[in-house]
Amino acid sequence: MNINIFLKQPFDYLDTPQIKWFYILGSTTFAIVFLLLFQPYGISKEMINPMNSSLNKFLFFASVAFSTILGLSLSQFFLRQLFDFEFVNNQKYIYWIVIEALVLTLINFGISFIVPDLGNNFEKELHLTFQLKMFVKIFLVLLFPFVGTVLYVSIKKLSNEIQELDVQLKQYKSVYKSSNHEQMLNILDENENVDLKISINNFLYAESSNQYILVHYLKQGEVRRHIVRNRLKKFVIQSNDFPIMQCHRSYAINLLNVDYLTKKNGKEYLV
């Protein structure tokens, strides 16, 4: 997919309370596991520092979890609506990730007045340079659960679409198989004159070619091709009473001749 097209598409990955909570709790879990497992940003030294008691260590990680849940909850359930970021495109939401990291930085700074960092150097935390570095760290850590959530939602939506289309396929086949007569498909030209008349069961698919469509159909057990001067979009509209679906800008297929749907490399395929 072209990156410009993707950026202009609506951002609909965090559009339900359930998915928002999945993102919030996933981000919190990732942050804690990441800090405990890799102990970056000087945490490894503070973990072995005898000046830091077990209670101080617990309070530090608890404050990280609390600030993450609080910050992301405010961001997703209140601030997005307040600043009109609820329905935006992908490009605009990139700015919101930056704002979200800033919110977390401010909350983390506020909590540090109550629960100091393991370094116990509060004067250092008051410097703008320290907070800017903290903002960058939070932003980078936040990217991983955000991307993971987007991928999860994308896969889930794709699976749901495949299931819905599979149900439609079964319904179409059930209706037409129970019919007592074989319906005929009239394929019209650009002047809406009948150019080709075939059984709907024998129609395979139509392929767009400039101002023409190339019709693929069965006749006496063999695949035949017939050129009709018409646009594919117009053909699909003219055939809206039949189980014909445009699955690509250049193709329209007969759902009666589709066995199942599958996905490969993130793309849907009709087989």
| Domains of the chain and any CATH numbers | 3-161 (no CATH), 180-270 (2.40.50.1020)
pLDDT tens over the chain, length 271 residues:
578 888 899 999 999 999 999 999 999 999 999 999 988 887 888 788 888 888 888 998 999 999 999 999 999 999 999 999 999 999 999 999 999 999 999 999 898 888 777 666 666 767 888 889 999 999 999 999 999 999 999 999 888 887 887 787 777 677 766 665 568 899 999 888 999 999 888 899 999 988 899 999 999 889 999 999 999 999 999 988 888 888 877 899 888 887 755 555 555 555 4
Strands, E, within the chain: which ranges?
A: 184-188, 194-199, 203-209, 212-219, 222-229, 244-248, 251-254, 261-264, 267-270
pTM given for the model: 0.69
189 neighbors 230 (Cβ within 8 angstroms): yes
d(CA 97, CA 91): 11
Q: Residue 100: which of 51, 156, 140, 155 has the closest Cα?
A: 140
Q: For tokens 């087989």, what's the residue?
A: 271
Q: For tokens 């059984």, what's the residue?
A: 199
At residue 178, the pLDDT reads 65
Measured from the Cβ of residue 159, the count of other Cβ atoms closer than 10 Å reads 11
Give just the sign of the alpha carbon dihedral 30, 31, 36, 37: positive
Q: Residue 102: which of 144, 67, 51 has the closest Cα?
A: 67
Q: How far is CA 45 from CA 6, 40, 42, 50, 51, in A?
A: 43, 9, 6, 10, 11
